[in-house]
Structure 1
């Protein structure tokens, strides 16, 4: 990582203790420093237009045809065509349910009409009998025998009760019949709604581009794009038409190498496998924590984003979905650096051990940017210092 420090690795031949301990040294020299880490990621748009699988309420679809990933499309152009066998079956079932509902309602209405007709007949008969009984109940004792008058009075009371009962039954029959018909009407409305939805599903089997752009297929949780013959659900994202004027690359860097990355760091980008096509940008966003990229691999990666100039993308014909490599520049400066393995941290101070003759001394350092293998030294080293990298320093003299 350090291109300017002269790494003079040798065994300390003049010291018998150092020979025995296999002490390794590096001699400090000032020079140009460059710390960088590599990340890989995908080009994407910050303002994509999602293309959803047509249909409503998660109805099942089968993909019959589609344009290839990365195709250039015009406004209104057909992007994909689907079939919906399940919706056909559901529509037929809804139509059958509607016919059954119509027959059930007609039967229930006929039953209620018959019952109401019978009650009307009974009420008419009771009314006639009541009139006759009431006539004789008020007759004079001279016109009728006493027992006949008493019987007539009793008949009036009986017919009054029966009339009220028949009227109550008529009211109850009307209320109950209205409730039963309301249930059948509600079922009919539900079947009609379902039939309309399924009919709309069968009429929404084509996906067209709302505007011109480049088709980018959506990847699922297993990182697979849609394929002909696959099953999809209405409302899910099928693809997107990105805005090519707003592009970014989201890079992933192994956590162990990501320390020291900051917003604003320079990023040198090129397409994966085509290093001649390059672009320069800066880190615009860094994730708050590193995350594993798969369940099978526990290694964590830090995600970061960098914007891509639109003119560069147009020049090289870059489109979303392409893979990129990004070189994040942590430091470009003149000065000293030391290997991370040589650093110690005690009592809040950073230091290294150096050899002065055969004597080991500790030097406190003021550090700068820390890279994956080396760290910038702002103060504390001089040219020619022999830095102890490994070995039993306590026994060296």
Structure 2
């Protein structure tokens, strides 16, 4: 009975209460506070002056990696870094040597054929010359010495032998010219086969990669972001590793394009080795890529690359080496006191940025002057007052004029 009476006494009071205004969605109240916009990126420590180590051999020659030093190994000048094999080059060299032997046999056969043909022509010419001399002698003889019919036959023999002699000389010239041309073709083929053999021999002699100077071995990643490993198929002339100059180091960070808005040269960066946040160094961005790029064919996400230098004394202090993974906190904005609004609250009117605020129960559009835009929030330089209640940008609330 007491509980029922209590409820009866409260009913008039509850009936006089007005439910709260739920027509508008208030996102937050504006107030000045410390602001810090930052973006995280990841990347590797690299040298700005590395000595490239290329896969040895002729350009685009395929070879297989049989042995290599581990990534990050200390090497001295002349140390063996990697050893390769080239089965295709072995086969090509063997084929080139076979082609050379065939060419030598073909040339010898052609030379013998030409010598035989020229020898036969020489014999024929010798016989014709001898017969010509005899025929010419009788052709000039008198009727007292020889019968008239014999003289006529001799005259005919002189004419025939003269024509035959000219034909044999022509055939000899043609045979010599043709033979020289055929031998030249064979010599050109031999030169080509010899060049291939020398190239393949040199290619097989270049299956070891040695360090040109002392340093730390840093393996190069390919387009799939993978480093070489034993069994890899590589091509001569491609990058295999490098020996960096440890006095000039930089970190190359990548940030997803959607989070990279507002990043520019000169922004401050707090760097630390991945997994070791106590090892920190401050730097500034000195280069930003003009466009974002994909890092993988299977991943459509694009990343923006940027570079920042690392003091050599700090790297030596912490024992940092090229190839190590780093995390960078890029400071887009850092002020002691200021205003900001969520990006979802921003709208636009006549090309000017604005937000909707709730003032005395009415929705008012407030034009803003913006500063730094972050991934989720944007700095407001002018247009907000303390206590302003900012509405969602897509609210259906009717604006007051």
Scaled by the length of structure 2, what TM-score is found?
Answer: 0.89
**8 A contact 1:290–1:301 mirrored in 2:** yes
- Structure 1 runs (4+) greater than 6 angstroms displaced: none
Runs of 5+ consecutive residues of structure 1 not aligned to the other structure: 1-13
Equivalent position SS for 2:301: strand
Aligned-pair CA distance for 1:16: 5.1
**8 A contact 1:43–1:322 mirrored in 2:** yes
Once the two structures are superposed, what CA deviation does each residue of 1:39-59 show, in whole Å capped at 9, x if it has no partner? Answer: 112222222211112222433
**8 A contact 1:242–1:320 mirrored in 2:** yes
Q: In structure 2, what is the equivalent of residue 243 of structure 1? A: 245
Q: In structure 1, what is the equivalent of residue 344 of structure 2? A: 341
Aligned-pair CA distance for 1:72: 1.3
CA–CA separation in structure 2 for the residues paired with 1:64 and 1:119: 62
Aligned-pair CA distance for 1:78: 0.9
Q: In structure 2, what is the equivalent of residue 389 of structure 1? A: 392
Once the two structures are superposed, what CA deviation does each residue of 1:289-334 show, in whole Å capped at 9, x if it has no partner? Answer: 2233223222222222222222222222222222211111111112
Q: In structure 1, what is the equivalent of residue 371 of structure 2? A: 368
Bigger shift: residues 282-291 or 33-42: 282-291
Equivalent position SS for 1:394: coil
Partner residue of 1:213 out of 212, 215, 226:
215
**8 A contact 2:125–2:168 mirrored in 1:** yes
1:248-397 mapped onto 2 (5 Å cutoff): 248-333=250-335, 334-389=337-392, 391-394=395-398
**Cα gap change, 1:242/1:375 in structure 2, threshold over 3 Å: closer, same or farther?**
same
Q: In structure 2, what is the equivalent of residue 18 of structure 1? A: 21
1:195-214 mapped onto 2 (5 Å cutoff): 195-214=197-216
Equivalent position SS for 1:106: helix
CA–CA separation in structure 2 for the residues paired with 1:165 and 1:112: 18
Aligned residues: 383
Q: In structure 2, what is the equivalent of residue 7 of structure 1? A: none
Partner residue of 1:62 out of 55, 64, 84:
64
Equivalent position SS for 1:122: helix
CA–CA separation in structure 2 for the residues paired with 1:254 and 1:94: 52
CA–CA separation in structure 2 for the residues paired with 1:319 and 1:108: 66
Aligned-pair CA distance for 1:395: 7.5
Scaled by the length of structure 1, what TM-score is found?
Answer: 0.90
Once the two structures are superposed, what CA deviation does each residue of 1:65-93 show, in whole Å capped at 9, x if it has no partner? Answer: 11001111111111011223333333333
**Cα gap change, 1:309/1:380 in structure 2, threshold over 3 Å: closer, same or farther?**
same
Equivalent position SS for 1:98: helix
CA–CA separation in structure 2 for the residues paired with 1:136 and 1:15: 155
**Cα gap change, 1:210/1:36 in structure 2, threshold over 3 Å: closer, same or farther?**
same
Q: In structure 2, what is the equivalent of residue 135 of structure 1? A: 137
Partner residue of 1:232 out of 234, 237, 251:
234
CA–CA separation in structure 1 for the residues paired with 2:18 and 2:137: 146
Bigger shift: residues 269-278 or 118-127: 269-278
CA–CA separation in structure 1 for the residues paired with 2:355 and 2:96: 81
**8 A contact 1:285–1:305 mirrored in 2:** yes
**8 A contact 2:24–2:391 mirrored in 1:** no
Bigger shift: residues 311-320 or 112-121: 311-320
**Cα gap change, 1:25/1:112 in structure 2, threshold over 3 Å: closer, same or farther?**
closer
- Tell me whether 1:164 sits opposite 2:166 in the alignment: yes
Aligned-pair CA distance for 1:223: 2.2
CA–CA separation in structure 2 for the residues paired with 1:395 and 1:202: 80
CA–CA separation in structure 1 for the residues paired with 2:301 and 2:90: 47
Q: In structure 2, what is the equivalent of residue 8 of structure 1? A: none
Bigger shift: residues 250-259 or 189-198: 189-198
CA–CA separation in structure 2 for the residues paired with 1:27 and 1:328: 27
1:10-159 mapped onto 2 (5 Å cutoff): 18-19=21-22, 21=23, 23-159=25-161
Aligned-pair CA distance for 1:346: 0.7
Bigger shift: residues 226-235 or 75-84: 226-235
Runs of 5+ consecutive residues of structure 2 not aligned to the other structure: 1-16
